């Protein structure tokens, strides 16, 4: 079975979040199961630089405002998975964030940049661009690829089926309705039953309406997005497509995320946790934190946004400090949140450290060095960092939403008794609830025997890609 994954970012070449990790890890997991999985990505500078054996395959010609468009083929680093890359210098050869220009605003031609991605996918699916390969299923990820099923439907001879995965419904890919002509979208599709969304055009909605199956990245989020609280105005569409919508949990690439990775000070395992103590000391030294704190070291590696509940954390910081605990933050995001954390660090230099920036290697040192990993999200489709934290014996403290609810077992008295607890969970997105769970986690931290038992249980949880890949394969076969 031949599967084409289509996405806008892929680790380690271009990454702004968990999407890149998933798109890098799922195709090789499918290949391991005997499927022929390939990827299609835009020719962003990081992708053109990082791919091996990149060769021109087909000259596509002018499209979507780009005079020169060439389809290249090559292999992804590490996994060696076969990849198609769209080289359209005018649209894609821009350094920095793939979606946003240096002025902090979305690129004004994003509709054309991502329409091209969907349009090329549809033509590969038609067998027009690679005479030697045609997919049975095209699997498109997030709003950037929402037009894939729309363009595919324009070819009456199309045999390939489509799967569309929602990684984050909050980004709906909204553009002016006037764009439709430039994008070659038929006017009959510009209705509320099609891709029109409150007088605009939504790429996300296009993916939801026109794909054969919809998945999202956890079972709980698949239920949540059918409600107004989490549906971002698309809950009606998602309810209509109810039978075709399912949740498949993301996995973790344990080759990259495990406590003997080369980035950390000393490796460790469930048999010997000494290395974790060395990692904590090293992280405290690196960040200039005191080594005298009596409480645990909490860590955050995240986009600093309200989705991630970072305002709640700032509000609950006094509760954390009152317990003699410490906080280390690695992230970038909304200006006021960055400033809030920086202020907190300058006011408590011994116990709060903040690194504003994106640093993959440093994120591994945070995972290994911290005692508790915070993910207090307002909504969380899956969340990967709590899964990484589990493997490092860094107990996740999360809100009970989306994939966080599906992957962390709360250390209640009952769960501790039953030896199934792996972290801490709170319910309401309010400062008091987060503060209370932080306090309780600090208390448990002082019970070393119980703490280590929970750490060991966390470390043996298996969220590898094997199960998820098997679920995707079953879905493809059902099509």
Q: Nearest 5°: phi and psi at 444?
A: -65, -35
For residue 361, count other CB atoms closer than 10 A to its CB. 10
Where does this chain touch ligand GLC (CB under 6 A) — which range of 16-24, 124-132, 172-180, 200-208?
A: 16-24
For residue 127, count other CB atoms closer than 10 A to its CB. 16
30 binds ligand ADP (CB under 6 A): no
Q: Are 79 and 48 in contact (CB under 8 A)?
A: no
Q: State in angstroms the smallest separation of the CB of 382 from ligand GLC.
A: 4
Where does this chain touch ligand GLC (CB under 6 A) — which range of 14-22, 76-84, 393-401, 471-479?
A: 14-22
19 binds ligand GLC (CB under 6 A): yes
Q: State in angstroms the smallest separation of the CB of 359 from ligand ADP.
A: 5
Q: Please report, as residue ranges, which positions from 328 to 387 form the binding site for ligand GLC (by CB under 6 A).
A: 380-384
**Out of 303, 400, 439, 453, the residue judged to bind ligand ADP by CB under 6 A:** 303
Residues 140 and 39: their CA atoms lie apart, in Å, by: 10
Where does this chain touch ligand GLC (CB under 6 A) — which range of 17-25, 156-164, 290-298, 449-457?
A: 17-25
319 binds ligand GLC (CB under 6 A): no
360 binds, among ligand GLC, ligand ADP, none (CB under 5 to 8 A by kind): ligand ADP
> For the sheet containing 326-333, what is the strand order?
352-356, 326-333, 297-304, 372-375, 395-399, 424-426
Cβ proximity to ligand ADP, 40 vs 384, nearer residue: 384
**Out of 358, 400, 412, 452, the residue judged to bind ligand ADP by CB under 6 A:** 358
Residue environment code for 322-341, b if the CB has 16+ CB neighbours within 10 A, otherwise e: ebebbbbbbbbbbeebbebb
Q: State in angstroms the smallest separation of the CB of 462 from ligand ADP.
A: 18
**Out of 73, 302, 394, 455, the residue judged to bind ligand ADP by CB under 6 A:** 302
Cβ proximity to ligand ADP, 43 vs 383, nearer residue: 383
Cβ proximity to ligand GLC, 295 vs 383, nearer residue: 383
Q: Please report, as residue ranges, which positions from 372 to 401 form the binding site for ligand ADP (by CB under 6 A).
A: 382-385
Q: Which residues bind ligand ADP (CB under 6 A)?
A: 17-19, 21, 301-303, 330-332, 358-360, 363, 382-385
Q: Which residues bind ligand GLC (CB under 6 A)?
A: 17-19, 22, 167-168, 217, 250, 380-384, 403
């Amino acid at each position: 079975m031949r599967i084409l994954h289509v996405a806008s970012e892929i680790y380690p070449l271009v990454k702004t979040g968990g999407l890149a990790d998933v798109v890098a890890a799922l195709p090789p997991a499918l290949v391991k199961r005997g499927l022929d999985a390939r990827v299609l990505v835009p020719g962003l500078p990081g992708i053109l630089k990082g791919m091996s054996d990149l060769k021109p395959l087909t000259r596509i010609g002018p499209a979507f405002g780009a005079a020169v468009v060439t389809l290249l083929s090559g292999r992804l680093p590490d996994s060696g998975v076969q990849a198609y890359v769209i080289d359209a210098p005018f649209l894609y050869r821009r350094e920095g964030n793939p979606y946003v220009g240096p002025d902090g605003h979305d690129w004004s031609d994003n509709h054309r940049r991502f329409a091209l991605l969907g349009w090329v996918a549809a033509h590969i699916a038609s067998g027009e661009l690679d005479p030697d390969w045609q997919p049975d299923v095209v699997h498109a990820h997030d709003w950037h690829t929402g037009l894939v099923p729309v363009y595919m439907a324009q070819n009456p001879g199309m045999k390939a089926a489509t799967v569309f995965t929602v990684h984050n419904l909050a980004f709906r890919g909204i553009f002016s309705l006037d764009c439709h002509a430039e994008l070659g979208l038929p006017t009959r599709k510009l209705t509320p039953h099609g891709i029109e969304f409150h007088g605009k055009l939504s790429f996300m909605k296009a993916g939801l309406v026109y794909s054969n199956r919809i998945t999202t990245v956890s079972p709980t989020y698949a239920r949540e997005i059918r409600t107004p609280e989490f549906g971002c105005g698309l809950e009606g569409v998602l309810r209509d497509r109810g039978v075709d919508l399912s949740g498949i949990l993301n996995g973790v690439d344990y080759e990259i995320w495990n406590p003997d990775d080369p980035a950390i000070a000393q490796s460790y395992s469930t048999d010997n946790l000494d290395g974790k103590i060395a990692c904590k000391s090293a992280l405290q030294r690196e960040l200039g934190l005191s080594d005298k704190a009596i409480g645990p070291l909490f860590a955050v590696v995240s986009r600093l946004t309200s989705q991630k509940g970072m305002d709640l954390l700032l509000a609950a910081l006094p509760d954390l400090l009152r317990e003699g605990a410490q906080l280390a933050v690695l992230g970038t995001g909304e200006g006021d949140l960055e400033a809030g954390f920086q202020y907190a660090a300058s006011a408590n230099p011994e116990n709060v450290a903040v690194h504003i920036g994106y640093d993959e290697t440093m994120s591994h040192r945070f995972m290994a060095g911290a005692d508790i990993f915070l993910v207090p999200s307002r909504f969380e489709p899956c969340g990967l960092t709590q899964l990484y934290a589990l493997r490092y014996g860094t107990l996740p403290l999360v809100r009970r939403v989306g994939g966080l609810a599906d992957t962390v077992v709360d250390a209640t008295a009952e769960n501790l008794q039953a030896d199934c607890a792996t972290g801490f969970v709170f319910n309401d997105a309010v400062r008091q609830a987060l503060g209370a769970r932080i306090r309780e986690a600090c208390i448990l931290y002082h019970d070393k025997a119980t703490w280590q038992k929970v750490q060991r249980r966390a470390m043996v949880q298996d969220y590898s890609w094997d199960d998820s890949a098997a679920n995707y394969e079953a879905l493809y076969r059902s099509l």
